[in-house]
Amino acid sequence: MSSLGNFLKELRGEELSLKDVEKGAGISSGLIWDYERGEKIPGTDNLLKLAEYYEVPYEEIRAKYYVDTLADERERVAVMKALEEFS
């Protein structure tokens, strides 16, 4: 699973269904499920919608997306550690 996918699943938690997020964010539940599993990567518009819906800074959700774009595993690990220290 991707860093962004894990983050989105964590934000949704046990209390919210995919349909809840679909209604609140205006993104199809199937697409949200794909994002959570790392099957698809959201564009800027959907990143903004998700950040607004979950009430998290866009920069935080964008950082998770950035980590997923890194090709080198060591670089991903280093960035993830830095993000954990930052939050």
Distances (CA, A) of 45 to 3, 49, 50: 19, 6, 9
Q: What pLDDT, on a 0 to 100 scale, did the predictor assign at position 87?
A: 62
Pick the CATH number of 3-86 from 1.10.260.40, 3.40.50.1370, 3.40.50.2000, 3.10.20.90: 1.10.260.40
86 pLDDT more than 90: no
pLDDT recorded at residue 82: 77
Q: What is the DSSP letter of 15?
A: T
pLDDT digits (tens, 9 = 90+) for 16-58: 999 999 999 999 999 999 999 989 989 999 999 999 999 999 9
How many other C-beta atoms lie within 10 A of the C-beta of residue 44?
10
Which is more confident, 42 or 79? Answer: 42
pTM for this structure?
A: 0.78
Asked if residues 32 and 8 have their Cβ atoms less than 8 Å apart, the reply is: yes
Taking the C-alpha atoms of residue 82 and residue 66, their distance in angstroms, rounded to an integer, is: 13
* Beta carbons within 8 Å of 68's beta carbon, 6+ residues apart: 2, 3, 4, 38, 41
Tens-place pLDDT, residues 49-76: 999 999 999 988 888 887 777 666 677 6
* Model pLDDT, residue 60: 87
